[in-house]
Amino acid sequence: MSPSDWLSRVVTFDSNKPGIRQLASVLGILLSLLAILVVPSARISAPFYAWSGVALVLVLGVVAYLVPWDRIASTWVLVIPLGTMLGFGLFRTGTGGATSMFGALIILPVVWIAAEEGRRYIWIAALATNAALLLPYFVGEASWYDGQVIRGYFAPIVYLVVAAVINELAHRARVQLAAMRQLAEERSRRLLESEKSAGVLRRTQERLRASEDFNKSVWAAAIHEAVIVTDLSGGIVAWGPGAAAMLGPVAESTEGTRSLVDFIDRERLLAAHGLTDCPDEQDSETIFTRFVEATERSGGSTSELGLVTVDGVVVPVHISCSPRRSGDGTQVGHIFIAADITQANEVARLKDEFVGMISHELRTPLSSILGYIELVRDDEAPLTDEQLHYLGVAERNAHRLLDLVGDLLFAAQVEAGKFPLELTTVDVGAIVTASAESAVPVAQRSNIAVHVEIDDSDLDVHGDATRLGQAYDNLLSNAIKFTPAGGSVTIRAVREHSEIVVEIVDTGMGIPADEMDKLFTRFFRSTTSTRQAVQGVGLGLNITKAIVAAHRGTLGASSIEGEGTTFEIRLPVASDEPAPEAVAGV
């Protein structure tokens, strides 16, 4: 297929390929279903109409591919977009009616219909839109006295204008493409005539100039993010207006003269690699390589790093990196897109301060409540069994609230990177044993067996015994909570070369694979835990990960839903090197 034929099919929506044109509507309905699953405010209010609409769109998608349309009159192909518009109208009726957030789907068949040759398709698109939008009122899912009914009359007017524009553009595109084909044929003939080669070159230059003008307009519009293009070594090739606004220098003073390394915050870069210093930190090539690695580590997704302005101010940014390639596919550089997250970080900081403040305010009255409960228990006046029971319930719930307040405070300290550690040489085996002994009574009440396996080798690490115990307690508590009666939990501690490895393995309900990447997020609770009504607020794993990271260790997890979960903590063994006085969390 020649380039002109391909362009023709894209612009004029080649009527011989209705299956391809229907694909957008199929994808639209599938994405809408996905939105219903993940967006709380999106819901199905009338299942019959909603699923009827989905089925109709999908069936028409199959019909669009299977029917040999080249053997049928071209006007019959309009059955597909008209039926699709009815399907979207039904789906809109079943997902909130006049207030549905999926009404915009109707634009897809409108574009198809309006792009057909002939002015009458403008009115067909507008009338069909009017019928689809008023469908909730026709079937009784919405009242004709509802103020939203105006959408059914006003929106088609808008769609009428849109359809007119699309129809005109499609018509012009057809005319232009026909002209382009004619010119291409003429050019192929005239290439044999050297005296007309200058005209062909001139047209080519004009098209190139138009393309360059378009690219420049797109480039100039990128003002809210810093777009920086470099060569393979970090030399700045292009410096977008957003980069000038964020970092200071204009393009004239950076392009071809400076390196991106000049604007990289090295402290944040080293932290992204888990390092505190770099022996060759003066090597620009090494710094740029580390920077690219940090931005590409998550498969091209954004990474949080820092860029430095001309005034020396560090701007925290989310930055992504994509390869820049030449026409033959060879990589010749990188394209960086950075977004300033200063305001987002400030919002997060204020949120954490608020949590910390509220937690402090709650801790004092809770401690007072527990104190008065203790005084009542110790009072010489005898209490009835019922009164003692009520006091026990109040005391247990007060302790639960106090533990939750403590977790909230610690989570706020973790987020601020300010929680202290009292580091000494500690025996991991002893800490694991103590945690297991504390967990046994709870496990026995739930008929869960707890197995402890401690290696005889040296299990010493530089760490805070209290915090490490808290980490192991959290994992053991989770394992017991998520394991049904008759199951087992195993905790083992071994030494592997220069690391101490602690594993907590349970035979519980497991974690869905698509939720594993959110496991250590604050306040995250898996669907399995919510289905089983397991108590918790989703702070334990986040706190545990922060404690492990503060000890320069790693925390990993693997799980099979319905079979169990394994958590693994790896800590470096104790060495002769002095341990840091305090380490910030993640």
Is the pLDDT at 407 greater than 60? The verdict is yes
Half-sphere CA count of 569, side-chain side, radius 13 A: 29
Quick one: tokens of 372?
């008065």
Across the chain, mean pLDDT equals: 77
Is the pLDDT at 4 greater than 50? The verdict is no
Is the pLDDT at 471 greater than 50? The verdict is yes
Is 228 in contact with 338 (CB distance < 8 Å)? yes
Q: Give the residues across from 502 on adjacent strands.
A: 493, 569
pTM over 0.85: no
Q: Tell me the pLDDT tens digit for each residue of 514-532.
A: 777 777 776 666 665 555 5
Mean pLDDT of 405-425: 68
Is the pLDDT at 584 greater than 50? The verdict is no
Confidence band of 6 (pLDDT split at 50, 70, 90): very low
Q: Tell me the pLDDT tens digit for each residue of 547-574.
A: 888 888 888 888 888 888 899 999 998 7
pLDDT at 581: 45
Mean pLDDT of 139-153: 70
Non-local (6+) Cβ contacts of 575 within 8 A are: 462
CA distances from 409 to 184, 416, 522 (A): 72, 11, 13
Confidence band of 289 (pLDDT split at 50, 70, 90): confident
pLDDT at 303: 55
Q: Tell me the pLDDT tens digit for each residue of 495-505.
A: 988 889 999 99
Confidence band of 397 (pLDDT split at 50, 70, 90): confident
Is the pLDDT at 508 greater than 70? The verdict is yes
Q: Transcribe 67-116 into DSSP letters.
A: S-GGGS-GGGGGHHHHHHHHHHHHHHHHTTGGG-TTGGGGHHHHHHHHTS
Mean pLDDT of 423-449: 87
Query: What letters, b where the CB count within 10 A reaches 16 and e where it falls short, cover 409-425?
Result: bbbbbbbeeebebebee
Q: Tell me the pLDDT tens digit for each residue of 16-67.
A: 578 788 888 888 888 888 888 887 767 788 888 888 888 888 888 888 888 8
Non-local (6+) Cβ contacts of 181 within 8 A are: 4, 8
Question: Closest by alpha carbon to 471, among 579, 560, 571, 359?
Answer: 571
Question: Closest by alpha carbon to 226, among 242, 238, 237?
Answer: 242
Mean pLDDT of 113-139: 80
Is the pLDDT at 332 greater than 80? The verdict is yes
pLDDT at 490: 92
Question: Closest by alpha carbon to 345, among 373, 318, 375?
Answer: 318
Top mean-pLDDT range of 7-16, 50-59, 211-220, 285-294: 50-59
Q: Tell me the pLDDT tens digit for each residue of 67-113.
A: 887 787 777 888 888 888 888 888 888 887 777 777 778 888 888 88
- Weakest-pLDDT range from 313-327, 391-405, 433-447: 391-405
